[in-house]
A and B are shown apart, each in its own frame.
Chain A
């Protein structure tokens, strides 16, 4: 079985993931833009029991557009957010794809959220994705 580890920039916060993610998606919303400092976020959603979080993390809770709580974990030393959860949904744990530091990471995204309203026009997603909002 595939085992991959996502880490923060300094390496102290690590998220070990077993197997394949249920889904990879891109989100262009303003909160993902601010949080990443990039112009979109990329999340790989794994079943909770396939993920082990190692190292110290600070939790940051944000209330999403639809009133749901999102709980992010970031490294207190370097600031990288490595994973997050939405407890209202039994939808696993989202891992920041950049944390894997693997340009060959698969699967590729299948969804692009806030694509019409928030995507910077120069971002060219070259694979077929379901585009929303």
Chain B
């Protein structure tokens, strides 16, 4: 299966082959600021299964883990579509919202729950919740 994640204006795209290896929600404050929502949602794919198209600008920061994370966002509309984690060099993380598909596989992990806004939760019997 091929799915395409795209920014709001459509100029930056990530073409993803096959199924993601991990879908997770992160409530950390950095994900809150980056998204403007109250959590981020990422789908990790093997790096060779994701092809980026269109111009992007890069922003890097050092994660809590001490490893660098590099985000690719659209210079026209600001949407971050995908990013790379130095900690996991063989994967590309793709922003689940950019698929604009409510049937996209649901998350199996919900992390940094100590930062979760109390009015929203990640439902699902199989979801692993981590503080």
Contacts and interface: CB of A to CB of B under 8 A. Distances in A.
Contact of B36 (A62, A82, A103): A82
B6 interface: yes
A74 B34 contact: no
Give the interface residue-count category, chain B.
35 or more
Interface residues of A, number: 50
B89 interface: no
B121 to A, nearest CB: 4
Interface in B58-81: 59, 61, 71, 73-81
Interface string B103-131: 01011000000011111111110010000
Given A76-B75, A101-B29, A41 B119 contact: no
B62 to A, nearest CB: 12
Interface of B: 6-9, 27, 29-41, 57, 59, 61, 71, 73-81, 95-100, 102, 104, 106-107, 115-124, 127
Interface of A: 7-10, 30-42, 58, 60, 62, 72, 74-82, 96-101, 103, 105, 108-109, 118-127
